[in-house]
Structure 1
Amino acid sequence: MADRRTGLDGTQPSRISRSAQRSVSSATSARADFQFPTGTAGLTNTRTRIVGERTGFLADTIISAVQLGRSIGGFLRRVFVRLAAVITPLGWTMLALVPLSLLFGYLIGWIELIVVGFAGGALMIIAVVYLVGRSSIQIDLSMPHRRVVAGESAVGEVMIANTGRRRTLGVTIEIPVGKALAEVALPSLRKGRSFTHNFSIPTARRGVVPVGPVRTVRADPVGLVRRELVWTEVSELFVHPRTVAIPSMSTGFIRDLEGNPTRDLSNNDVSFHALREYMPGDERRNIHWKSTARTGTYMVRQFEETRRSHLMIALSLASADYANDDEFELAVSVTGSLGIRAIRDTRTVTVVASEDTPEFAKHKVFAVRMLSTLTGTRLLDDLAVVEHTESALTITDVARVAADRASGVSVAFLVCGSSVTRQQLRAASTKFPLGVEVVAVVCDPESAPGLRRIAGLSVLTIGYLDDLKQSLARASAA
């Protein structure tokens, strides 16, 4: 009986096991539903921040309302941005005065105030009419020359063509030129016609002059609204510093394989100097056999050492080294003249300028700025943007940093103003190794050109850029 109740085939135990499994499954589902009541559990986004984990009709209605409000807000924001770019301050003032005039005019019965309100409204409507439509034109901005020398004339050209089917109405064209603004009144153009206008670009001082973008302006006569359309990108005009042609520096200052050899003697080079008696350690290939046979003593060739020239030009950007802006401009022109001459002579040249110390730095930053010497144009492009500052390194510090960074320098030019003393120039020259010819070029427009020697240092004083040529020739002869 016991075996029959329990079931030898396991029927009754299987029924109890399935019930237990259903109970366990129900409990597990209940726990799962308790832990994750909705699909938004654990989600953090805008919806959950507004309605939490609710998914009913009311929650969906609230979310739809929020989405609609955001869409309307975005549309109104775009409209306001467009209006803010079109309506002038006078137009906003008129928008505020028109309803106020009508409101107070009707409240107090002031006929004149009501008339002012209606007149202001009429003006606003007429002003909006001026903005309707878009001209079918094409505008191009070009400059014949992208690089000019300071003082030379430079022009830009703007060409307007009618690409539409109808006659274009006259509009005003604005061309930003540096800090100035050039305005051009565009006449009416028939289909296929074009109009070209040339405008001058100021080049009194070196620098980079941004030109453009060209934009058309449509405005009402009163000045309530103004619509601008940009047609071109910004172009840049490089105004280079003035330079002067100086003679080649292959002789005198610079000594290399193509110039004069140095006075240092060497046992192996290409510039023959003299014959001397053989000494232990000399190479046998340098023995001069004809002289040996004639004298009966081994004679070897003695050479003068030659080395590849390396020209360095250091420009001080410290305001303390210059008495005024004219001295600094002259120094920049001197640097450009020396650098271009060295580049044309295919010399190895390095041009450095002072680096600025950050405004809130605790210590002085000893560094120099390397200017490009790939071509003369690249060098003048870099010189067009240099400016003197109070926190830049003085000429003494520039010489110190430049001497540490550049190796194999043959001649070093130190370009500065009249505020630098002789002691400072002497201290700057001592930063370079022995054998380096140091030449200081002092720019002082109020003094006569001259040359003086200070303990192995050549000091050239020039008052005008043209004095550089004669001063260099005098220093080379000395």
Structure 2
Amino acid sequence: MTTAPPETAATGPAPLDDAPAPEQASWREVALYALARGGASLRTAAKVVRPLGWILIGIAPVLWIVGLVMGWREITVAAVVVTVVVLLCLLFMIGRTTYDVELDLTRTRVVVGERAIGALTLSNSGSRAILPSRVVLPVGAGRGVFGIKHLAPGEQVEELFAIPTTRRSVLPVGPVSIVRGDPLGLFERVDSRDEPVELFVHPKTVRFEGQSLGFVRDLEGMTSRDLARDDIAFHALSEYQPGDDLRHVHWRSSARTGVLMMRTYEQTRRSHYVIGLSTLPGEYADPDEFELAVSAAGSLGLRALRDAYRVDVRTQSGKLRTETQKHLLDALSGLDSSKPREGATAALAGAVSANAPSAAVAVLVCGSRVSATELQSAVSRLPVGARALVVVAALGQDAARRRIGEADVITIGALDHLPPSLRRVLG
């Protein structure tokens, strides 16, 4: 009689035949890891091959097969030449390209037409020399290319550059790329260094003297044309009306006239200056006219900020950042007229009124294609009681002034027309 060996707690149940052994599982993991690493290495290596390199790499084995199988010596010689050329070009990829890169822009904010000056410093901090290479510096949609010579250990080189600015924009400068390649252009290795820097190209603006729209400011704000029984800016005397505060009785005039006379005041409001800048392309004759409108809005906003107003600038796409002069100009630099959210100048005026109903000054800036009817509709939607001004950018036209409803409308054909036009409005 045979007896089965007893199961013990130490041995436990016998393993199933289908379960993989620990050694087999580990080898499988190693194989998968090796394949993954090999695939990543192949993808990295493939990135250095340029289109011409792929052509020669594909032609070489075909030439070898045809030459050896068919016995054509000429084809075999061609295969040897192509193979040697590919191998020689690969030698140029050997070596380090680990420069220490420093990108320095002297000014990250310039005005349209100015040149942004910068410096690119590359140094070899390693113990081995670095072969000659090219350095590519992207600037917006373009790029600058610098040829860097052989750098010995501890050596550094500085390249100065100037970025011309012709349009208002926000340009990304960088990241710097180090390019190593062969003379025939079969292979190219690109290593990115440093982080990109933003270059703000501000719109042109013009300075003008006096306050933004000639208001007299006091401790609480600016006087308006509305009269009040109780405020700070004294206006005139009027007869007593039931409910008037007796603290404002002018006793000397009351004794002289025999009638109780009360002081009346010009109502003051907070110094809130709102600019509505239309970004609808259909309202402008061309892109240059839109640039004129942006410059006009920027000039008015800067003057208001210097006068210590609280300034808001709104477009169809929303509110711009205007806490300081730098914030205002930076926001205007990135403003685009191609994708407004919705609505024309009249809708923009409604948005201004809805978001700043107690504004003291409301300015609309638009293009020459806005009709007088549309302007009248826009003016009627501005905040009630605010001093209203409309600036029409009409590139190349003569400066003009007219009145629509409660608003002064000035037309400017150039940025230099803005200061004298405002003086005529205030005069």
TM-score, with length taken from structure 2: 0.90
Counterpart for residue 318 of structure 1: 280
Q: Which amino acid aligns with 1:290?
A: R
- Taking the TM superposition and a 5 Å limit, the aligned residue runs for 1:352-371 are 352-355=314-317, 369-371=318-320
Q: Secondary structure at the match of 2:35?
A: helix
Q: Secondary structure at the match of 1:466?
A: helix
Cα distance in 2, alignment partners of residues 70 and 95 from structure 1:
28
Distance 1:334 1:370, change over 3 A: same
Which one of the candidate residues 218, 229, 241 is aligned to 1:257? 218
Cα distance in 1, alignment partners of residues 174 and 213 from structure 2:
48
Counterpart for residue 269 of structure 1: 231
Cα distance in 2, alignment partners of residues 143 and 260 from structure 1:
42
Which stretch shows the higher mean deviation, 444-453 or 187-196? 187-196
Cα distance in 2, alignment partners of residues 451 and 326 from structure 1:
22
Counterpart for residue 5 of structure 2: none
Q: Secondary structure at the match of 1:185?
A: strand
Distance 1:451 1:110, change over 3 A: same
2:326 equivalent to 1:377: yes
**Structure (1/2) with the larger helix percentage:** 1
Counterpart for residue 240 of structure 2: 278
Write the deviation string for residues 61-103 of structure 1: whole angstroms up to 9, x where unpaired: 7755653442232022111211121111211221111111000
Q: Secondary structure at the match of 1:263?
A: strand
2:230 equivalent to 1:230: no
Cα distance in 2, alignment partners of residues 327 and 468 from structure 1:
14
Whether the 8 Å contact between 1:166 and 1:191 is mirrored in structure 2 is: yes
Which one of the candidate residues 339, 342, 347 is aligned to 1:397? 347
Cα distance in 1, alignment partners of residues 189 and 100 from structure 2:
17
Give how far 1:293 is off: 4.1
Which one of the candidate residues 367, 373, 384 is aligned to 1:417? 367
- Where does the alignment leave 5 or more consecutive residues of structure 1 unmatched? 1-37, 40-52, 356-368
Give how far 1:279 is off: 3.7
**Structure (1/2) with the larger strand percentage:** 2
Q: Secondary structure at the match of 1:77?
A: helix
Larger Rg: 1
Write the deviation string for residues 212-244 of structure 1: whole angstroms up to 9, x where unpaired: 111211111111111112221111101111111
Q: Secondary structure at the match of 1:86?
A: coil
Whether the 8 Å contact between 1:245 and 1:337 is mirrored in structure 2 is: yes
Q: Secondary structure at the match of 2:242?
A: coil
Q: Which amino acid aligns with 1:257?
A: D
Q: Which amino acid aligns with 2:218?
A: L
- Taking the TM superposition and a 5 Å limit, the aligned residue runs for 1:131-142 are 131-135=93-97, 137-142=99-104
- Where does the alignment leave 5 or more consecutive residues of structure 2 unmatched? 1-12
Counterpart for residue 453 of structure 1: 403
Cα distance in 2, alignment partners of residues 237 and 127 from structure 1:
38
Q: Secondary structure at the match of 1:163?
A: coil
Counterpart for residue 3 of structure 2: none
Distance 1:68 1:375, change over 3 A: same
2:190 equivalent to 1:243: no
2:308 equivalent to 1:346: yes
Cα distance in 1, alignment partners of residues 173 and 212 from structure 2:
41
Give how far 1:451 is off: 0.3
Q: Which amino acid aligns with 1:113?
A: I
Whether the 8 Å contact between 1:443 and 1:461 is mirrored in structure 2 is: yes
Cα distance in 2, alignment partners of residues 260 and 220 from structure 1:
70
Cα distance in 2, alignment partners of residues 195 and 176 from structure 1:
19
Counterpart for residue 82 of structure 2: 120
2:47 equivalent to 1:85: yes
Write the deviation string for residues 358-404 of structure 1: whole angstroms up to 9, x where unpaired: xxxxxxxxxxx111111011111111111113654211111112211
Counterpart for residue 9 of structure 2: none
Whether the 8 Å contact between 1:214 and 1:231 is mirrored in structure 2 is: yes
Q: Secondary structure at the match of 1:102?
A: helix
Counterpart for residue 34 of structure 1: none
Distance 1:82 1:262, change over 3 A: closer
Which stretch shows the higher mean deviation, 442-451 or 277-286? 277-286
Distance 1:220 1:263, change over 3 A: closer
Q: Secondary structure at the match of 1:67?
A: helix
Q: Secondary structure at the match of 2:401?
A: strand
Counterpart for residue 335 of structure 2: 386
Counterpart for residue 113 of structure 2: 151
Distance 1:217 1:304, change over 3 A: closer
Counterpart for residue 42 of structure 1: none
Q: Secondary structure at the match of 1:104?
A: helix
Cα distance in 2, alignment partners of residues 347 and 214 from structure 1:
42
Cα distance in 2, alignment partners of residues 172 and 276 from structure 1:
82
Give how far 1:339 is off: 0.7
Write the deviation string for residues 151-200 of structure 1: whole angstroms up to 9, x where unpaired: 10112210112323444332211111111121111122334332111112
Distance 1:60 1:163, change over 3 A: closer
Counterpart for residue 206 of structure 1: 168
Distance 1:298 1:440, change over 3 A: closer
Write the deviation string for residues 318-362 of structure 1: whole angstroms up to 9, x where unpaired: 11111111111111111111111111110122110112xxxxxxx
Give how far 1:421 is off: 0.2
Distance 1:263 1:474, change over 3 A: same
Question: Alignment RMSD, CA only?
Answer: 2.4
Distance 1:88 1:263, change over 3 A: closer
Q: Secondary structure at the match of 1:306?
A: strand
Which one of the candidate residues 367, 388, 400 is aligned to 1:438? 388
Q: Secondary structure at the match of 2:224?
A: coil
Whether the 8 Å contact between 1:267 and 1:303 is mirrored in structure 2 is: yes
Q: Which amino acid aligns with 1:333?
A: S
Q: Which amino acid aligns with 2:415?
A: L
Which one of the candidate residues 92, 96, 107 is aligned to 2:58? 96
Counterpart for residue 476 of structure 1: 426
Identity between Structure 1 and Structure 2 (%): 37
Whether the 8 Å contact between 2:134 and 2:147 is mirrored in structure 1 is: yes
Counterpart for residue 170 of structure 1: 132
Which stretch shows the higher mean deviation, 221-230 or 203-212? 221-230
